[in-house]
Structure 1
Amino acid sequence: MVARSLDFVKTTDAAMPDRIESSSSLPVDDVSVRVDQIADAALRLFARYGYKRSSMDDIAKEAGLAKATLYLHFKGKDDVFRAMLDLLARRVEARCREVLSTTGPFPERLNALLQAHHGLAYASFGTGEHLVELKAVMNTIATRELQAFEQIFTGFARELLQDAQDRGEIILSRASLDSESWIGGLMFAAAGAKTGTPPSSEDYARRLKTIASVFSAAVT
């Protein structure tokens, strides 16, 4: 009888691993993995249902965790949203870094950079149905994260321009703009390509390619 009771306790504990978890008891690496797991689940939900329609309960279920576990790492949905944006930024930055490490004609590398940053971010939010709402949320509760996300592109774009000039591929003065104005116009065009009826990821990628061709032509 005692053995049977012990078996029951072991089985119950195994089925409820989140019951005894605390953020302080996890190694730092494990905490980072758990935070990213939650952020990744939130990204999928926000893309599918938007921010307002996604609850902490929904995020917990999507992540396969107990709701209490979410509150060990986040105070609320706003914090989860900021972590989601940070996770996306790290993914985009890694992709952009890969682009800068490759060789090829300037127009191709510029297109690849646009796809790595703007294209990947757009595709991460599915059909773009909730993009307007999510951008509004970013501007309200995640301005620092949003600025950091945009700076990823400007930093790599500067590096790409400098490399192309050093190689003699482009002459930026032909565009009658300095590098910051040229990059600002490029980002404005990439943002404008999403306006109106949300394009599919494929259509948006084609629009980015056209933008890359136009801006490249101005300096090559």
Structure 2
Amino acid sequence: MSDRRESSSSLPVDDARARVDQIAEAALRLFARYGYKRSSMDDIAKEAGLAKATLYLHFKGKDDVFRAMLDLLGRRVEARCREVVATKGPFPERLAALLQAHHGQAYASFGTGEHLVELKAVMNAIATRELQAFEQIFAKLAAQLLQEAESQGEIAFARACVPTGDWIAGLMFAAAGAKTGEPPSAQVYAQRLADVARIFAASVAAR
């Protein structure tokens, strides 16, 4: 193993990052298709088009690959969320777009959603820090969106009668609840997120 670590560390930083992301992307496809338990390191290597030995240059095992996959997804989601917040438009539309950029994009990334229960359990078991960071992406940018909308007179947050953090937490719970039961299609989930955004935006609308 020492040779592998030395070989991995000898790669230029950009090349190593690109290889890690290549593996994480392959893992995302596999986990969406087969779930976590049914995806092996051999499967991930084949999906990434790499030798299994190359996989072990960067990861000790499947748990590490899973965490890298969640990190990759988080970076993609954050980039899209920041684009939404930077876009001008009515608050309800921007809130709906933010929900879609975060929750909707993550849901669509895992295919039909049939493995979401298993994957969420794995996140809670081995990737708590990464999961919390992923959720904080939305919480932070939703707070920014609220602040901007209030400063522009679009909303009157006092109408919500709850602290900002509680309002955002409720929004996130509603977004999570919108995919319970029979897993909806990505399109149906997007519509449910739009409905959630409309309801929550109405709760703080300026009179």
Q: TM bucket by the smaller chain?
A: over 0.9
96, 101, 104: which one aligns with 1:116: 101
Structure 1 position 115, deviation (Å): 0.4
Please state whether the residue corresponding to 2:146 is helix, strand or coil: helix
Give the root-mean-square deviation of aligned CA atoms: 1.1
Alignment of 1:1-220 (within 5 A): 22-220=7-205
Q: What is the rounded CA distance, in whole Å, between the counterparts of 1:214 and 1:161 in structure 2?
A: 15
Q: What is the rounded CA distance, in whole Å, between the counterparts of 1:166 and 1:129 in structure 2?
A: 41
Output the TM-score relative to the length of structure 1: 0.90
Please state whether the residue corresponding to 1:22 is helix, strand or coil: helix
Aligned residues: 201
Structure 1 consecutive aligned stretches of length 4 or more whose deviation exceeds 6 Å: none
Output the TM-score relative to the length of structure 2: 0.96
Q: What is the rounded CA distance, in whole Å, between the counterparts of 1:84 and 1:219 in structure 2?
A: 36
Q: What is the rounded CA distance, in whole Å, between the counterparts of 1:175 and 1:34 in structure 2?
A: 46
Structure 1 position 24, deviation (Å): 2.5
CA offset digits 1:97-150 (Å, max 9, x no partner): 000111000000000000000000000000000000000000000000000000
Letter in 1 for 2:19: R
Structure 1 position 55, deviation (Å): 0.1
Find the structure with the greater CA-based Rg: 1
Letter in 1 for 2:129: R
Identity, % of aligned positions: 79
Please state whether the residue corresponding to 2:89 is helix, strand or coil: coil
